[in-house]
Amino acid sequence: MSKEKDKEIRELKKQIIDYMEHDAQGPVEVNEISQSLNKTGSGAFKKLVKAIAELEREDRIVLMKSGKFKLKESANLLEGKFFGSDRGFGFVAVEDYEKDLFIPPNETNTALHGDMVRVELTKEADPRNDKGPEGRVVEVVERGSQYIYGEFTPYDDNEVKETGFYGYVTPKDKKLPDALIQIEAKGLRPVAGTIVQVEITDYSGIESGNDFVGIINRTIGHKDEPGIEILTIVHKYNIPSEFPEEVVRESENVPDFISEEDTKGRKDLRDEVVLTIDGEDAKDLDDAIQVKKLDNGNFYLGVHIADVSHYVTENSAMDQEAYERGTSVYLTDRVIPMLPQRLSNGICSLHPNVDRLTLSCEMEIDSSGKVVDYSISPSIIRSKYRMTYEAVNKILMEDDEETKAEYSEIVDMFKQMEELHNILEKKRVQRGSIDFDTREAKIEVDPEGMPVDIFVRERGVGERMIESFMLSANETVSEHYTNQDLPILYRIHEQPDEGKMQRFLEFVTSFGITVKGTKDNISPKTLQAVINEVKGEPEEAVISMLLLRSMQQAKYDVTPVGHYGLAAEHYSHFTSPIRRYPDLVLHRLIHYYNEVDRSSKAKNKWNERLPEIAEQSSVTERRAVDAERETDEMKKAEYMQTKIGETFEGVIVSVTNFGMFIQLPNSVEGLVHISNMTDDYYEFNDRSMLMIGTRTGKVYRIGQSVEVRVTSANTETYDIDFELVEDETAPTDKPQKGKSSKKKGNRNRGKKQSDAPFKKDKGKRKTKKRRKR
């Protein structure tokens, strides 16, 4: 069925249901439906019969003994977005429904990841057993994407005659079913091994376990070309990777230097000692800082952010493109920027010793970390130093004399920065901010794009210090406009999901941790206390990770509900307008309210526009995160493919009925499948999340250190498989001869994760951190 015919049948099904719901007087015959919808011609009648047959198969209408059709009375239909998994099942997110509906593998009814579907509720949620509702897809209302990406294989002449197709494409998407796409003998005709974009013309085959049908309308490149895998991911997530000509032309008209006209109405801070601190290879420097002690004992903190909104004006081509992109995307060895490099690496980047336009949030902060005075204004700066985290950490953490001598003029400022940072961090801890201190994996690749090393980036004082200053500026700006009752974009983080939090609270009790509070009102301060309690213990990384997974996703909104993780009442993104569209919009709003209008009419204007911007920004952020995560998974699988047969120490991060997931110190995760645990017959204890050997009594639990051998790494599915290296010292659930049967506490099991090397010759590495809250 072509795409047009598929759409026509869907529309016809809607017309039939609408007629039977509102106009029909009880059950109706096919002829009545035909006449009422004016589908009496031969061709139209055939399509009508096909649509009725589909509705009957979907169990939305019922054929009675009289030969008439009626709506199924028990139908309890809901509409939502389908999220597929690589294991066949899925979930449907329904608006105003507390929990997503679980859709079993045999009830997806051709739905693919991202589709809008209509579902029937088959099982209500069971809060007592913490089980959500179940349903089945009865209709795909709208396809999430008509394009699929994959590798093309042509048929030979005999196969073309036999099948009627030119070849087939193997999808690259893990969330698609295990099916092929048969390619019609029209459209582009690439060579074998080409990665292509396929437009699906017929989805019906998926229902019967057969193939899709489509045409190739774009080639991405050959599978053997360097970097083609990442390029495929970019296209799969519909991330724009090339700027339209109009955007490029517009960016070329942006001046290279600041004019005298640009400085009017701006606070001149060019004589102040302002500097930037970023990663060594960063090129888009969008934040600069200054710290100094005031005569009254308070601190002055100046956070100066590149004024991108001066160049990217509302509704311009660059603005529209930035809206579509939403954020810069960081994919292993490349960056897909939100703005053309002429701006992001040029006039908007706060390079040293050149004039730059900025928006400044200048704060006076007392010894308790309270902002006692502030100003938010357009400014102009001239950064004096381009510092790196490495250099700052050498000064503050290592007391490196050579580095201190190189930057002798500003060493005292760094010490004042560290003092202020400690005050601000202490304040956040006291109010209950959760510090996950998450570690990011750095994947190094060779010129061909192949991974040659993976290591974890450690955050030093320099990174944490800049984070403290950016958080202060974000909160101060957000609170200012909230108090002014002026509409802006907020970065919100809602209360954790009750079900996930309940599971987390039950989990930590197995480590002897008692948490005060209930799943529906637990405070972030209480959760931070849990992290503090396991600091330095083997289970620290696992508990932090599981707590993070229990949290809601932060997003953008127009209602200031606060940021749970930061324990902040007011929070917005102000500090990264080169790489995040919400920050750019906030800068635009600051200018608008200060220079144009803040009347009721102005408020109404932005109250109408901001919700759509918030939604788009959240969607593009999630798209970028998904693409970044998939790229990392792919590169990790490629890297581990070179380590087959090697052994490593790792930590159990999840235990399931089919095996255990092990994380290595370099963040790579792999599965020890239960079928490969051959030294005993193991049973899964789902209540305590344990794997217990029935004969030996060996116990495997989350947070426990184990030694594993790499057995396989699939670069198509990104699955990595391990097997356990037999360990006679593994804890058991049975008393040993001559020893007490009392089990040791969890804190004594295994080695600390931080003590488990990935490779014994790994030394210290340079680190860089991309800030993101």
Neighbour-count burial of 596, counting CB atoms closer than 10 A to its CB (0-12 exposed, 13-18 middle, 19+ buried): exposed
Neighbour-count burial of 483, counting CB atoms closer than 10 A to its CB (0-12 exposed, 13-18 middle, 19+ buried): exposed
**pLDDT score, position 748:** 33
Q: Are strands 699-701 and 451-457 parallel, antiparallel or unpaired?
A: unpaired
State the Cα–Cα distance between residues 752 and 250, nearest whole angstrom.
55
Note down the domain range covering 674: 643-755
Neighbour-count burial of 219, counting CB atoms closer than 10 A to its CB (0-12 exposed, 13-18 middle, 19+ buried): middle
Place 529 in a pLDDT band, splitting at 50, 70 and 90.
Answer: confident
Among candidate residues 159, 127, 361, 173, the one with its CA nearest the CA of residue 267: 361
**pLDDT score, position 498:** 78
**pLDDT score, position 738:** 36
Flag whether pLDDT at 116 surpasses 70: yes
Given 71, 93, 108, the domain boundary residue is 71
Which three-class secondary structure state does DSSP give residue 656? Answer: strand
**pLDDT score, position 437:** 64
Q: Residues 373, 450: one domain? A: yes
Return the top range by mean pLDDT from 1-5, 647-651, 756-760.
647-651
CATH of the domain at 187: 2.40.50.700
In a domain, residue 43? The reply is yes
In a domain, residue 570? The reply is no
Q: Residues 421, 273: one domain? A: yes
Tokens in use for 309?
A: 């909104």
In a domain, residue 104? The reply is yes
**pLDDT score, position 244:** 95
Flag whether pLDDT at 732 surpasses 70: no
Tokens in use for 85?
A: 């998994």
For the beta carbon of residue 398, count every other beta carbon within 10 angstroms: 11
Q: Indicate the number of domains in the chain.
A: 6
State the Cα–Cα distance between residues 559 and 491, nearest whole angstrom.
9
Given 101, 123, 142, the domain boundary residue is 142
Q: Residues 466, 502: one domain? A: no
**pLDDT score, position 208:** 55
Flag whether pLDDT at 74 surpasses 60: no
**pLDDT score, position 512:** 80
**pLDDT score, position 13:** 87
Place 26 in a pLDDT band, splitting at 50, 70 and 90.
Answer: confident
- When comparing pLDDT for 617 and 93, which is higher? 617
- When comparing pLDDT for 259 and 114, which is higher? 259
State mean pLDDT over 727-744: 48
pLDDT above 90 coverage of the chain, percent: 54
Flag whether pLDDT at 205 surpasses 80: no
**pLDDT score, position 751:** 33
State mean pLDDT over 34-59: 86
* Number of residues that this document lists for the chain: 773
Q: Residues 104, 27: one domain? A: no
Taking only the tens place, the pLDDT of each residue in 435-452 is: 876 678 899 999 888 999
Q: Residues 325, 474: one domain? A: yes
State mean pLDDT over 165-188: 83
Flag whether pLDDT at 767 surpasses 70: no
**pLDDT score, position 726:** 77
Q: Residues 324, 295: one domain? A: yes
In a domain, residue 431? The reply is yes
State mean pLDDT over 286-312: 97
Q: Are strands 329-331 and 334-336 parallel, antiparallel or unpaired?
A: antiparallel
Which three-class secondary structure state does DSSP give residue 135? Answer: strand
Q: Are strands 385-388 and 275-278 parallel, antiparallel or unpaired?
A: parallel
Place 77 in a pLDDT band, splitting at 50, 70 and 90.
Answer: confident
Flag whether pLDDT at 757 surpasses 50: no
Place 739 in a pLDDT band, splitting at 50, 70 and 90.
Answer: very low
Place 754 in a pLDDT band, splitting at 50, 70 and 90.
Answer: very low
CATH of the domain at 98: 2.40.50.140
Place 768 in a pLDDT band, splitting at 50, 70 and 90.
Answer: very low
**pLDDT score, position 578:** 97
In a domain, residue 275? The reply is yes
Q: Residues 100, 63: one domain? A: no
**pLDDT score, position 100:** 83
Flag whether pLDDT at 4 surpasses 90: no
Q: Residues 84, 192: one domain? A: no
Return the HEC string of 553-585: CCEEECCCCCECCCCECCCCCCCCCCCEHHHHH
DSSP-assigned letter for residue 113: T
Q: What is the mean pLDDT of the chain?
A: 86
Which three-class secondary structure state does DSSP give residue 639? Answer: helix
Flag whether pLDDT at 123 surpasses 80: yes
Q: Which residues 6+ apart lie within 8 Å of 170 measured at CB? A: 150, 151, 153, 180, 181
Tokens in use for 656?
A: 């399931």
In a domain, residue 771? The reply is no
Q: Residues 56, 99: one domain? A: no
Taking only the tens place, the pLDDT of each residue in 458-511 is: 889 999 999 999 999 999 999 999 999 999 999 999 888 777 788 788 888 877
Flag whether pLDDT at 576 surpasses 70: yes
In a domain, residue 11? The reply is yes
- When comparing pLDDT for 422 and 767, which is higher? 422
State mean pLDDT over 10-29: 84
**pLDDT score, position 340:** 96
Taking only the tens place, the pLDDT of each residue in 390-426 is: 999 999 999 999 999 999 999 999 999 999 999 999 9
Q: Residues 161, 270: one domain? A: no
pTM greater than the 0.75 cutoff: yes
Flag whether pLDDT at 756 surpasses 50: no
Taking only the tens place, the pLDDT of each residue in 536-549 is: 777 777 788 888 88
- When comparing pLDDT for 125 and 737, which is higher? 125
In a domain, residue 578? The reply is no
Flag whether pLDDT at 752 surpasses 50: no
Q: Residues 175, 40: one domain? A: no
State mean pLDDT over 661-687: 92
Q: Residues 350, 424: one domain? A: yes
Among candidate residues 139, 117, 342, the one with its CA nearest the CA of residue 248: 342
Given 142, 173, 196, the domain boundary residue is 142
